[in-house]
Amino acid sequence: MKKLAIDFYKRTNVTLIAKQLLGKIIVTNFEGHITSARIVETEAYAGQTDKASHAAMGKRTARNEVMYADGGISYVYICYGLHQMFNVVTNDSGIPHAILVRAAEPLQGADIMLVRTGKKTGDSSLTRGPGNLAKALGISTVNTGCNLQGDEIYITDDDYVLRKQHIGISKRIGVDYAAEDALLPYRFYIKGNKFVSGKPVN
């Protein structure tokens, strides 16, 4: 188990990084409570050129400021007033690329996730969908701008091998307002995994 190096995040090809994040393990360590989960679904947001991104057309606000920072940190924001969304910022400073982690498969600390989410059974709804995932991992907006090389939130590689034919690609979810950019094939997921959100695709 090794943390992903800063070089992994600082590359320019955001869709490639999104694809390579599949199968990696996200770990959170808050107040001694360690939870980890294998990433099974991601979406790439390609900065200025992407209408679905918060940084579309070079938009820069207090909320998305962290997207313009160096790669390798977290970007957490609230959607619909109640859901926390966890993103990984990539590329160099000044380029607002980000990858939304949409779903993961619980590995460690599932009992803690149950407490955090208020659920009674650890079925596939525990970490399916970005809102649920962040909640289960205990991530909230106070963790935005967090260095992924640190001790609270980090992503590790356990040499899990994902075969190319097991990777699914589709358009992104919930971004229909972005016109033609909503059709971009920027969503990556592990085929057949029950934690992947949206309709099952085979």
Binding site for DNA (CB under 7 A): 43, 45, 52-54, 59, 61-64, 67, 75, 77-83, 85, 87, 98, 100, 125, 128-133, 141, 172-175, 177, 197
User: Smallest gap, in angstroms, from Cβ of residue 161 to DNA?
Assistant: 27
**CA 121, 123, 128, 133 torsion-angle sign:** positive
User: Smallest gap, in angstroms, from Cβ of residue 193 to DNA?
Assistant: 15
Task: Say how far apart CA 72 and CA 161 lie, in whole Å.
Answer: 22
Q: Between 143 and 197, whose beta carbon lies closer to DNA?
A: 197
Q: Between 25 and 113, whose beta carbon lies closer to DNA?
A: 113
Which of 124, 115, 123, 45 has the alpha carbon at shortest distance from 85?
45
**CA 145, 151, 153, 155 torsion-angle sign:** positive
3-state helix, strand, coil in the chain (%, to 5): 25, 30, 45
Q: Between 191 and 198, whose beta carbon lies closer to DNA?
A: 198
User: Smallest gap, in angstroms, from Cβ of residue 174 to DNA?
Assistant: 2
User: Smallest gap, in angstroms, from Cβ of residue 2 to DNA?
Assistant: 26
In contact, 50 and 115? CB cutoff 8 Å: no
Q: Between 98 and 148, whose beta carbon lies closer to DNA?
A: 98
